[in-house]
Structure 1
Amino acid sequence: MNVVVVGAGIAGLACARALSGAGVRVRVLERGRVVGGRLASRRYNGRYADIGAAYFVADDPDFAAVAERWRARGLARPWTDTFAVHPGSPARGPMRWAAPGGLRSLAADLADGLDVTLEHEVRAVPDDADAVVLAMPGPQALRLGPPAAVADAARGQEWQPVLAAVLAYPERVWGDFHGAFVNDHPVLATVCDDGDRRGDGAPVLVAHSTPDLARQHLADPHAAGPVLSEAVGELLGIPARPEIHVHRWTYAQPASTTGDYATDGRVWLAGDAFGRPRVQTAWLSGRAVAGALLQSSER
């Protein structure tokens, strides 16, 4: 069996890793310069900051086993089970995991040893493979002209945009703080202490915008930087002005859909829209596609 995976986010890499481990010939094609997708970290002033997913949760037994292997190798660590809530009291939840080298380092670990081609933009569903896995948001998959069954599933997905603002301050002037969910705010959705989650104590916060603010600034995301910076300063009582870097995620937050994937038998659509939108969900979706492909090849 010959499989092409389009997209080197965690869903695509999880799928390719499982297939490759079973002896299947699999190629991963990625239009970006690096692997990871929304498991993204970018270097600013010599230090990586997480600009995509803020953390990951590992409450599925199989994914928890992967997280433990990452922890044993120093690639990931349990971070916190408590976030502040504005307005409101701190909320405890599942353990949130972070990565000392940035979350993208986990995608790089999944990609290690795989046949991955970067900066390769796919414009149509490849026809030179027995199976094609589209590991991407539905609106992006539609641009490739997938078959009807997959196109219908892709059109059924709903996505919200988000802007991520990396705020680098001269020094840490806030107290004990991991992150915060910000409710009913016109600008902010979450704020995370990147120095705390990375474990290096850097005076860096990362703010994620509301979808409404992102929609207003999709054409010029950097214009939203001062707006997000001012909102964070007011929220946490920080008078200093930070260095600001903004990243646009046009397809950031999917609404949940049912199932683990969509397929017509040859073309498959995978990702975190299939279930609760989490890093773990993307990994499970990609692995489920791999399992179904391996099962079909045995028939």
Structure 2
Amino acid sequence: MTVDVTVVGGGISGLACARAIRDAGRSVRVLDRGRRVGGRLSSHTIDGRVVDLGASYVVVGEAERFGHVVADWEERGLARAWTDTFAVIGSDGARSPKPGPMRWAAPLGLRSLALDLADGLDVVSGRVVERVEPFRVDGEDAGEVVLAMPSPQAARLVGEVPGGQQEWEPVIAVVVRWDERQWDADLHGAFAEGDADVSFLADDGDRRGDGAPVLVAHTTAERARRHLDDPEGAIAPVLAATRRLLRIDVEPVSAHAHRWTFARPARATGEPFFRSAGLSVCGDAWGDSAAVRTAWASGDALGRLLSAS
């Protein structure tokens, strides 16, 4: 059955696009190569516990429409206000607070938010797309086609990416678990300023609200590039940096690594999305800054435009 729109990619931008189209009464199908939707809203079960490995949190900012979505998630217990203050740890070990907007987290892991967006949509999981062109996916009629994915991945499907290809940076997320908490109770998360190995540390137990003694360290792009073929090789330098930054003397119980080859765009386009007849693009590179709210807003705006056209 031909649908009005086929969205390729089941991350938050693709799901937001599909929901906007469905809510407008148009038919839409989402094709996702993963076993479950979510993209970089990724939560994996490690040592019997769900851990957030992709996006670290959600910020609403001035995205009013997204704010209504987050408020609904909070009302239904899917999202929780986490913190408005992180720490900044300098190269000399000095620590200072960094106030900012409220960061939101998910008790069941951030993927649960993507699963909620997907509820009621026609989603085909485990669908590996080989070729995309205007109005067609793998040679079959597909209505309007939306690519909701990083541009290097889109390039594999279309050759020349509509709207231009952006540069993307890799990240390796290292999950480290101790028997008990080894860091200050007020350390929700920390930016590592000038560190060669670690860019951000998140207290996953604090973030999720269950108090588990689990940290998730996100590498710098340079450290990640060295280990794209061997993510586990990043564990030792990242663990050493984490223990040094937080002054932890105790060896952890376990450590696991997850590679994100295309974790974040090096810079955003400033445009909300790319639109052309039969083939459009949305995602977190299409906005003012790379963020979960940017991805949602990009997909939602494109979906509403396609529905009206």
Q: How does 1:57-96 map to 2 (within 5 A)?
A: 57-59=59-61, 60-87=63-90, 88-96=95-103
CA distance in 2, matches of 1:200, 1:221: 27
CA distance in 1, matches of 2:233, 2:167: 26
CA deviations over 1:108-158 (Å, ceiling 9, x no partner): 000011111111110111141220010000111111116x6xx25242x11
Aligned partner of 2:46: which letter?
Y
Q: How does 1:11-30 map to 2 (within 5 A)?
A: 11-30=13-32
CA distance in 2, matches of 1:282, 1:166: 25
Aligned partner of 2:80: which letter?
R
CA distance in 2, matches of 1:182, 1:55: 17
Q: How does 1:48-127 map to 2 (within 5 A)?
A: 48-59=50-61, 60-87=63-90, 88-125=95-132, 126=137, 127=140
2:96 match: secondary structure: coil
**Paired residues of 1:142 and 1:154 also in contact (CA < 8 A):** no
Post-superposition shift, 1:241? 2.0
Correspondence for 1:144 among 143, 146, 157: 157
> Considering only aligned residues, what root-mean-square deviation do their CA atoms show, in Å?
1.1
**Paired residues of 2:176 and 2:215 also in contact (CA < 8 A):** yes
1:263 match: secondary structure: coil
TM-score, length of structure 1 as denominator length: 0.95
Post-superposition shift, 1:264? 2.0
Q: In the alignment, does 2:259 pair up with 1:257?
A: no
Percent identical residues? 52
The answer for unaligned runs of 5 or more in structure 1 is: none
CA distance in 1, matches of 2:272, 2:171: 24
Q: In the alignment, does 2:292 pair up with 1:247?
A: no
Aligned partner of 1:107: which letter?
A
Post-superposition shift, 1:17? 0.9
**Paired residues of 1:48 and 1:102 also in contact (CA < 8 A):** yes
Partner of 1:230 in structure 2?
240
**Paired residues of 1:141 and 1:154 also in contact (CA < 8 A):** no
**Paired residues of 2:202 and 2:216 also in contact (CA < 8 A):** yes
**Paired residues of 1:139 and 1:154 also in contact (CA < 8 A):** no
2:41 match: secondary structure: coil
**Paired residues of 2:13 and 2:298 also in contact (CA < 8 A):** yes
CA distance in 2, matches of 1:236, 1:258: 36
CA deviations over 1:260-285 (Å, ceiling 9, x no partner): 11122210111000121000000000
Partner of 1:162 in structure 2?
171
Partner of 2:218 in structure 1?
208
Partner of 2:300 in structure 1?
287
**Paired residues of 1:257 and 1:274 also in contact (CA < 8 A):** yes
2:34 match: secondary structure: coil
Post-superposition shift, 1:78? 0.8
CA distance in 2, matches of 1:230, 1:33: 34
Partner of 2:39 in structure 1?
37
After the TM superposition, list the runs of 4 or more consecutive aligned residues in structure 1 that deviate by more than 4 angstroms: none
Partner of 1:268 in structure 2?
280
CA distance in 2, matches of 1:75, 1:135: 24
The answer for unaligned runs of 5 or more in structure 2 is: none
**Segment of structure 1 superposing worse, 87-96 or 7-16:** 87-96
Partner of 2:206 in structure 1?
196
CA distance in 2, matches of 1:22, 1:174: 49
CA deviations over 1:147-205 (Å, ceiling 9, x no partner): x6xx25242x1110000001011111211210001111100000000000000000000
